[in-house]
Amino acid sequence: MLTSILIYIFFLASAPLFIGVVNKLKSRLTGRTGPSLFQPYYDLRRLLRKETIYATSASIISRIAPVIGFVSLLFAGMILPIGFYKPLISFDGDIILFAYLFGLARFFQILGAMDIGSSFEGMGAAREATFAVFAEPIYFFTLGSLAFIFGCTSMYEIFHSISLNNPAFLVFISVASISVFFLMITETSRMPVDDPNTHLELTMIHEVMILDNSGLDLFLYQYTSYLKILIYATFTSNFFNPFNVQNHYLGFSIYIMIIFILIVNLVWIETMMGRFKLKSIPQYLLFAASIGILNILVYSFFNK
């Protein structure tokens, strides 16, 4: 129990570091020196010192939305298994809780964005809501097929009852991780779904929703987004855990390694690809969902 709490605190503390590494690598890859590895920490500290200003047309929603988002993601992080350590919250059916904690955070972010009354945020909120519709099935089909095969519905149980003696499972899992990678890219608004660097109206989905927030609110939103990407990266890395190994320390170092490989992947994709046309993003997401559907079809019949 104590180790789980320690690991969780480490997890929370290293969320900005993840983004720091991603930004640094991206700049290196494009020939720049780039910001320091700890730049997100400095940004967060700067934001804490600023004053929080609310628009005159804002209501109570604008005050509570960032907090709700932050807290839901904190809880979602507690459900996630990191390496081999048992997560803080683990019960049957927590995969659904995980999905809907994210849903709650997203819902309040959208509400908060629309609350301000500017059309910019409304546009971002609309796009966010649309893509969320297509992104939900990915999660449910992928994790649902896993739950179906292994017969348990707790995330920790699922990822720890996979045994890799059947090579078919190996392929299945690597293929499922592609879906989840797509999901990660969509939910955290990286390329090719959204460009985190430009702040042009054409390309904004997430950054536009927080345009009018400042100070503590912006701190909470930024930290939430860092946490979100780390949570998704950890979730993806769970697909690759060598499940036969039971040593905790080995599991943890493998976790770090896989996270790093994911960072490299992410950076490579961000640098190499341009952004998709907005109208082809649903199709991109449907492709990821259909991989999940295919897995369900195959393995549900295969395991009878």
Q: Which residues bind another protein (CB under 8 A)?
A: 167-168, 171-172, 175, 280, 282-284, 286-287, 290-291, 293-295, 297-298, 301-302
Nearer to another protein, 85 or 284 (CB): 284
Smallest distance from the beta carbon of 130 to another protein, in angstroms? 12
Q: How many CB atoms lie within 10 A of CB 200?
A: 10
Nearer to another protein, 56 or 165 (CB): 165
Contacts of 20 (CB under 8 A, 6+ apart): 35, 36, 37, 38, 39, 40, 41
**Joined tokens for residue 173:** 């899992």
Smallest distance from the beta carbon of 283 to another protein, in angstroms? 5
Nearer to another protein, 9 or 170 (CB): 170
Distance, in Å, from the CA atom of 120 to the CA atom of 209, rounded to the nearest integer, reads 8
CB 236 within 8 A of CB 159: no
* Nearest partner of 212 among 73, 42, 63, judged by Cα: 63
Distance, in Å, from the CA atom of 11 to the CA atom of 1, rounded to the nearest integer, reads 15
Smallest distance from the beta carbon of 289 to another protein, in angstroms? 8
Nearer to another protein, 247 or 280 (CB): 280
Nearer to another protein, 261 or 297 (CB): 297
Nearer to another protein, 89 or 289 (CB): 289
Residue reference for tokens 């990660």: 184
**Joined tokens for residue 198:** 């430009």
Smallest distance from the beta carbon of 139 to another protein, in angstroms? 17
**Joined tokens for residue 299:** 């393995």
**Joined tokens for residue 167:** 């090579």
Nearer to another protein, 249 or 301 (CB): 301
Encode 10-44: b = buried (16+ Cβ within 10 Å), e = exposed: ebbeebbebbbbbbbbbeeeeeeebeeeeebeebb
Smallest distance from the beta carbon of 230 to another protein, in angstroms? 29
Smallest distance from the beta carbon of 282 to another protein, in angstroms? 6
Query: What is the three-class DSSP state of 26?
Result: helix
- Residue 206 DSSP class: S
Distance, in Å, from the CA atom of 274 to the CA atom of 199, rounded to the nearest integer, reads 15
Smallest distance from the beta carbon of 131 to another protein, in angstroms? 13
